[in-house]
Amino acid sequence: MRDPDAWLRFAAWLVVVFAASQIAVFSFGRDQGIYALVGDGLLQGRLPYRDLWDFKPPGIYFVYALAQALFGKSMLAVRLLEIAGLFAVMFAFGRLGQTFFDNRTAGYLGGAVAALIHAQLEFWHTAQPETFGGFLTAFALVATTYDYARRKKVLGWILVGLLFGAAFLLKPPLGGGALVCAAYLAKKEQLAAERRFAAVWPVLTVALSAALIVALCLSWFALRGGWPALWWTLGEFTPGYTSLSWEGQRAPGMLYYAAEEAFFKFSALAAAGVIAAATISPIHGREREGMFLLLGIIALHITGIAMQGKFFPYHYAATLPLIAFISGLGYYKLWRRCLAGGVGGVVAYAAFIVAVTAMRDAVRDLPQGFWERAQMRLAYILRRPPFETREALDRRLYYVADYNLDADRAVALELRSRTGSEDPIFVWGFEPIIYWLAEREPSSRFIYNVPQRTEWERDYARRELMRELSERPPEVIVVQRNDVFPAVTGQVSDSKHDLLSFPELLLWVDERYEKITVIEDFELYERRDQKLGAR
Domain boundaries defined on the chain = 5-359, 370-399, 401-534
Residues 36, 28 contacting (CB under 8 angstroms): yes
Does residue 386 have a cis peptide bond before it, meaning omega lies within 30 degrees of 0? yes
Distance CA(294)–CA(388), nearest Å, equals 44
Residue 195 has pLDDT above 90, yes or no: no
Rg (CA), the chain: 25
Q: What is the mean predicted confidence (pLDDT) over 194-208?
A: 88
Residue 531 has pLDDT above 80, yes or no: no
SS3 sequence, 59-105?
HHHHHHHHHHHHHCCCHHHHHHHHHHHHHHHHHHHHHHHHHHHCCHH
Distance CA(459)–CA(466), nearest Å, equals 11
Residues 338, 346 contacting (CB under 8 angstroms): yes
Distance CA(158)–CA(204), nearest Å, equals 10
Q: What is the pLDDT of residues 5-21, one digit of tens each?
A: 999 999 999 999 999 99
How many CB atoms neighbour CB 14 within 10 A? 11
Q: Name the nearest CA neighbour of 436 among 54, 80, 140.
A: 54
User: What does the CA dihedral 307, 312, 313, 315 come to, rounded to 10 degrees?
Assistant: -40
Q: What is the pLDDT of residues 462-498, one digit of tens each?
A: 999 999 999 999 999 999 999 998 888 888 999 999 9
pLDDT band at 117 (very low <50, low <70, confident <90, very high): very high
Q: What is the pLDDT of residues 128-174, one digit of tens each?
A: 999 999 999 999 999 999 988 877 899 999 999 999 999 999 999 99
Distance CA(78)–CA(370), nearest Å, equals 21
pLDDT band at 535 (very low <50, low <70, confident <90, very high): very low
- Percentage of the chain beyond pLDDT 90 is 87
DSSP H or E segment with residue 48: none
Q: What are phi and psi of 426, to 5 degrees?
A: -145, 130
Q: What is the pLDDT of residues 211-249, one digit of tens each?
A: 999 999 999 999 999 999 999 999 999 998 888 878 778
DSSP H or E segment with residue 451: helix 450-453
How many CB atoms neighbour CB 416 within 10 A? 15
Residues 130, 33 contacting (CB under 8 angstroms): no
DSSP code at position 1: -
Provide the pLDDT for residue 530.
Answer: 60
Q: What is the mean predicted confidence (pLDDT) over 262-288?
A: 95
Q: Name the nearest CA neighbour of 498 among 484, 512, 487, 511.
A: 484
Cross-strand pairs, 201: none
